[in-house]
Each structure stands twice: as C-alpha cells, then as structure tokens.
Chains A and B, each alone.
Chain A
Amino acid sequence: AQTVTQSQPEMSVQEAETVTLSCTYDTSENNYYLFWYKQPPSRQMILVIRQEAYKQQNATENRFSVNFQKAAKSFSLKISDSQLGDTAMYFCAFMTSYSGNTPLVFGKGTRLSVIA
C-alpha cells in the first residue's frame, strides 16, 4: 500500500519570503503521479501543482515549484514570494493510475500561515 508522509504539521512564513513544505512517500510502483493540493478555510480543494513520476524535470506553476527526488521518494513544494492568500492547509497526494480513475492517497497535511 502507498503511504504519504508530511512531517511538518504547521509552518509559517513572512510575506514575500520563500517556504518549502516537505513530503515523502512509499510505493513499489514505478509509474505514478504526485500532487500538492491547497485547502483554504473555504474547504475547497484546489490543485496547486502535479508531477508525473516518469518526468525528470521538476514541475513549476508560477510561484510554486517542486523538488522531485524519485530515488529518495521525496516531493517537496516550494512557494516563492509568499502571499497572504497562500495561507491554507497543504496536502501532498499520490495516485497510481494513468487515467486518474483511482483515488488519491493523502498525507496528513501542513498548515501554512503567511504573516504580514
């Protein structure tokens, strides 16, 4: 069974600074997908960024980037130029299926607070 571990229950960062959220996972699969989801107080799950395991290049989406280390089974999220609107719970998630028709396995989450 796949497991996802987020070792930082809470983090804080000053506005405009950079913060990195950690995520490790365990799987015997070779092809899989990794995601970071954001859940603000509105509780809507919002996809932040995704990474295909077969791609060596790290994914980037504007201020968000990942450091994907497949051998180490590590998938950290870096948020640059942090903004107050980035305050939320962040969940790392894992999926095995190519099609997206299998469920996600989530880590326990990291609560990020951006401080003005």
Chain B
Amino acid sequence: SAVISQKPSRDICQRGTSLTIQCQVDSQVTMMFWYRQQPGQSLTLIATANQGSEATYESGFVIDKFPISRPNLTFSTLTVSNMSPEDSSIYLCSVGPGLADYEQYFGPGTRLTVT
C-alpha cells in the first residue's frame, strides 16, 4: 500500500492569487494523478503526472491554469493559478502503485475556498 500526504489540508485564498498544493508519497510510484472535486460533485481528473515528463491534461484543464511539477518518484505539486471562486473545490492526488497491485490510493485532499 501507499501512504499519501497533502499540504495544505485547507486554505482560503483571495481571487487572483495562486496556491501550490503538495503531494508526498511514502514509496516510489510511476504515475500520480490530480483530481478536482467541486462541492457536492464527483471526482474529475485534472492531469496525469509521470516523473521526468510533462503532465498530460484532460479536456477542459490547461497547463497555464494548473501547472504541475513531478521532480521525483515520490513528490508532485499542483498549482491553481489566478484563482476565481469557481476554483473552490477539494483537490486530491492519487497514485497507482504498479503491476503488483492495481489499487489506487488517495491523499486526504486539500479543501480550497476562493473568496
């Protein structure tokens, strides 16, 4: 299994500012995924982050708005840029451990409120 931590756990930000969310895993993993969960909604994939390459973004999400870094096999960051109230959501990272275990594990999430 994998243990994932996220920082910050929650934040309240003003519109127009940016927030960087950190995701740390206790073991090396190939892929990391970033999801957004808007209030009362399901999880929507933002992007897939593979170490050593550019993140792959889903339709409706762009790198300028959600830049992602993946400097090593245990860490990733997601930045929410130029925030607006519509960005108020829970942001979750998850990892897929690999061939031996196809379960995906989730971090505790970051609750972002933009005022």
Contact = CB atoms under 8 A, between A and B. Distances in A.
Interface size class of A (residues with CB under 8 A): 20 to 34
A50 B41 CA distance: 22
Interface string B9-52: 00000000000000000000011010101000111110010000
A107 to B, nearest CB: 6
Given A95-B104, A101-B98, A43 B42 contact: no
Contacts of A106: 42-44
Interface string B71-115: 000000000000000000010101011110111101011010000
Contacts of A109: 41-42
Nearest to B45: A103
A101 B43 contact: no
Given A50-B103, A95-B102, A100-B96, A44 B43 contact: no
Classify the interface of chain B: helix, strand, loop or mixed. Answer: strand
Contacts of B43: 45, 91, 104, 106
Interface string A93-116: 001011111111111110000000
Nearest to B29: A101
Given A43-B90, A43-B111, A100 B104 contact: yes
A45 B102 contact: no
Contacts of A101: 30-31, 96, 98
Given A91-B42, A106-B43, A100 B108 contact: no
Contacts of B103: 47, 50, 100
A44 B31 contact: no
A33 interface: yes
Interface of A: 33, 42-45, 47, 50, 91, 95, 97-109
Q: Please name the 7 residue pairs, one residue from A and one from B, whose CB atoms are nearest each other, closest first.
A: A100-B102, A100-B96, A45-B106, A101-B31, A101-B96, A106-B42, A108-B42
